[in-house]
Amino acid sequence: MKTATIAHAAYSTFVEQVKAQKVQRATVRPHRIDYSLKPAVGFKRFYTTPPAGKAEDIKAMLRQHQVDVVIPADNTGAVAGAMGLLLSTGALVGTLAWLFKNSPDNEAMGLNKTKARPYGPGQSQRGRKANGKTGVTFADVAGVDEAKQELKEVVDFLKDGAKYRQIGAKLPKGVLLVGPPGTGKTLLAKAIAGEANVPFFSVSASEFVEVYVGVGASRVRDLFAKAKKQAPCIVFIDELDAIGKSRGGGGPNNGNDEREQTLNQLLTEMDGFDDNSGVILIGATNRPEILDPALKRAGRFDRQIIVDRPDRSGRLAILRVHARQVTIAADVDLTEIATQTAGFVGADLANLINEAALLAARNNRSAVTMADIYEAMERVMAGLQLRSRILSPIERQTVAYHEVGHAIVASLMPGATQVSKISIVPRGKGALGYTMQTPAEDRYLMLEDELRGQLATLLGGRAAEEVVFGKVSSGASDDIQKATDLAERAVTQYGMAADLGPIAFVDTQSEFLHRSSSRRPMSGEVAVEIDRQVKQLIHQAHDIAKAILVLNQALLQAMAQTLLAEDVLEGKQLQEMLLKAQAPVNTQIWVAKGNKV
């Protein structure tokens, strides 16, 4: 969708909001005023406005209306700029940290040797914890409980391999951590090493790729040779996409040859050690879609673990982890900060706390106050918004109503699958939010009213936008695509349009073979009728969705507000809210109409 930015406000709007006591705090800078609204007023987010008049006058006005005036640190501009740069390369930050950690020891290194070395027991390494662990445990990683749970199994295997071997169970050879930058993939891998108390070889895939052909491949070979000697152990390959890109793409230049050789060597090595060798390979990537499919095949990285952006409670947990490391003043409300940091990943939150601590120190305070955190938040957020990771308040609202629209319609539809979760934590490309439906059973047959119910559910998102805002966004394009496909199939394959009867209008045989359906030869008249029927199905579904949401507008509002506050709605809370949804009388008529479209 669109690129999000801090919401811009006219100066006059700003003054009005100040006078109406709506502004919580403002930072007056030479060329802009950044401010946030009080929680009660709409959605508390950040705005910026060009100042009109002298800074002193503006500040006087702000104080007069009890606005919290934040004094910007003297070098704000420079710091914010640098921050933006650092933030925009979350992956790079990880790599840099890795480089520092791995800066050359006394040990001489051959070009063909891997730079990876174990942090494991028996390896006396400078600066490393004496107990030989990475020093990171699962307690340091928060907000990614599902990923942690899965990884605990891996740790268990390393601790107690005999138990698994005895029963004949095989653990996946390779575990691939997949998720956006900064969500804690590298951290999780370190935590595993810390928990399992086995040697941990860490390497960034980018270091395999050197200028000289063949170097990468021999480094891979060397790495695995070392690892096998120290088994049980973990080999962690970070930023796997650096070598794991799909082969065959691009021209036959040197760089690609080198990368391919390296990748081939990695594949060979993965196939070469058997499941019980005690070597577990963990990879991490932000870009699973570009990985060579061969890497994901069975016996290689055959288990993917998603490390996703945290929701509100996840963010709170992460904030708690990082707040432990600094002195926090009594006025700091981490729950409030978690609420206001939608879209932040773990690395952003760590950054936020650190920035706030720097501010406090710079101002000679002994503890980090809420004001420090707010000021830091403005900086971090500005950087994130540049990369459109943060939705503007308007976008968040739109997404929230849209998703709740799907859920309410789904809850009333015949044969509806239960909505188990609604989320407005953006994930992946394109998906700004999602509604998860869990079917009660596997379905192979869809009844006509169920099909209509699905259509209405698909259009429920768009309908909610219309009902609430009176206008629509581009956010429903995927729903519309799906709905159109489904309606088209209903008419041309399932024979659900009475006027046309049970005639197949597409050749599904060829569909399976060629993956694209082709219409059978037909008269122009029939083609027009098909289009008309498809259109009618869609329109009826849309009308139903809209009727439902108009009737349930209060519920729609309440649920969207809760969703905006919490980021997710699930479990009992969600079910109780959905129970309040009422079906309009004409839903029955619609369903009872049967085949007559």
Active site residues: 403
Give me the residues that bind ligand ADP (CB under 6 A), please: 90-91, 94, 141-144, 179, 181-187, 284, 318, 321, 346-347, 350
Q: Which two tokens stand for residue 258?
A: 């080198």
* Contact call for residue 405 and Zn ion (CB under 5 A): no
Query: Which residue type sits at 329?
Result: A
Asked if 182 and 347 touch (Cβ cutoff 8 Å), the reply is yes
**Phi, psi (rounded to 5 degrees) for 162:** -55, -40
* Nearest distance in Å: CB 479, Zn ion: 4
Encoded one letter per residue, x for contact with Zn ion by CB under 5 A and - for no contact, window 196-225 reads ------------------------------
Only one of the segments 38-46, 350-358, 472-480, 584-592 lies at the binding site for Zn ion (rule: CB under 5 A); that segment is 472-480
CB-based contacts of 470: which residues, under 8 Å, 6+ apart?
none
The smaller minimum CB distance to Zn ion, of residues 232 and 461, is found at 461
Cα 99 from Cα 101, distance rounded (Å): 5
Encoded one letter per residue, x for contact with Mg ion by CB under 5 A and - for no contact, window 83-102 reads -----------x--------
* Nearest distance in Å: CB 215, Mg ion: 23
Question: Distance of CA 186 to CAs 121, 125, 206, 270, 284, Å?
Answer: 20, 20, 15, 21, 7
Q: Which of 190, 184, 428, 191 is nearest to 315 (CA)?
A: 184
Residue 312 parent element (H or E): helix 312-323
Residue 407 parent element (H or E): helix 393-412
With CB under 5 to 8 Å by kind, the binding choice for 92 among Zn ion, Mg ion, ligand ADP, none is none
Strand partners, 304: 176
CB-based contacts of 494: which residues, under 8 Å, 6+ apart?
446, 451
* Nearest distance in Å: CB 119, ligand ADP: 15
Query: Which residue type sits at 44?
Result: K
The smaller minimum CB distance to Mg ion, of residues 25 and 185, is found at 185
Residues 283-342 that bind Zn ion (CB under 5 A): none
Cα 239 from Cα 95, distance rounded (Å): 9
* Contact call for residue 258 and Zn ion (CB under 5 A): no
* Contact call for residue 461 and Zn ion (CB under 5 A): yes
Which residue has its beta carbon closest to Mg ion?
186
Q: Which of 158, 194, 176, 193 is nearest to 276 (CA)?
A: 158
Asked if 292 and 163 touch (Cβ cutoff 8 Å), the reply is no
With CB under 5 to 8 Å by kind, the binding choice for 90 among ligand ADP, Zn ion, Mg ion, none is ligand ADP
Phi-psi region of 50 (alpha: psi -120 to 50; beta: other; left: phi over 0): beta
The smaller minimum CB distance to ligand ADP, of residues 204 and 230, is found at 204
The smaller minimum CB distance to Zn ion, of residues 269 and 479, is found at 479
Q: Kindly report the number of other CB atoms within 10 A of residue 137's CB atom.
A: 14
Residues 181-240 that bind Mg ion (CB under 5 A): 185-186
With CB under 5 to 8 Å by kind, the binding choice for 461 among Mg ion, Zn ion, ligand ADP, none is Zn ion
* Nearest distance in Å: CB 241, ligand ADP: 12
* Nearest distance in Å: CB 402, Zn ion: 6
Cα 97 from Cα 552, distance rounded (Å): 52
Asked if 351 and 380 touch (Cβ cutoff 8 Å), the reply is yes
The smaller minimum CB distance to ligand ADP, of residues 232 and 283, is found at 283
With CB under 5 to 8 Å by kind, the binding choice for 408 among Zn ion, ligand ADP, Mg ion, none is none
Only one of the segments 41-49, 471-479, 485-493, 500-508 lies at the binding site for Zn ion (rule: CB under 5 A); that segment is 471-479
Q: Kindly report the number of other CB atoms within 10 A of residue 440's CB atom.
A: 9
* Nearest distance in Å: CB 220, Mg ion: 19
* Contact call for residue 288 and Mg ion (CB under 5 A): no
Q: Which of 241, 292, 348, 479 binds Zn ion (CB under 5 A)?
A: 479
- The three-state DSSP-derived secondary structure of 176-219 is EEECCCCCCHHHHHHHHHHHHCCCEEEEEHHHHCCCCCCHHHHH
The smaller minimum CB distance to Zn ion, of residues 382 and 412, is found at 412
The smaller minimum CB distance to Zn ion, of residues 223 and 544, is found at 544
Only one of the segments 227-235, 355-363, 475-483, 534-542 lies at the binding site for Zn ion (rule: CB under 5 A); that segment is 475-483
The smaller minimum CB distance to Zn ion, of residues 383 and 475, is found at 475
* Nearest distance in Å: CB 457, Zn ion: 9
Residues 131-190 that bind Mg ion (CB under 5 A): 185-186
* Nearest distance in Å: CB 203, ligand ADP: 14
Q: Which of 375, 381, 352, 351 is nearest to 363 (CA)?
A: 375
CB-based contacts of 292: which residues, under 8 Å, 6+ apart?
244, 245, 246, 247, 263
Which residue has its beta carbon closest to Zn ion?
461
Question: Distance of CA 107 to CAs 111, 225, 431, Å?
Answer: 13, 18, 48
With CB under 5 to 8 Å by kind, the binding choice for 479 among Mg ion, Zn ion, ligand ADP, none is Zn ion
* Nearest distance in Å: CB 413, Zn ion: 15
Phi-psi region of 365 (alpha: psi -120 to 50; beta: other; left: phi over 0): beta
State the DSSP string of 572-592: HHHHHHHHT----HHHHHHHH
The smaller minimum CB distance to Mg ion, of residues 183 and 230, is found at 183
Binding site for Zn ion (CB under 5 A): 461, 479
Binding site for Mg ion (CB under 5 A): 94, 185-186
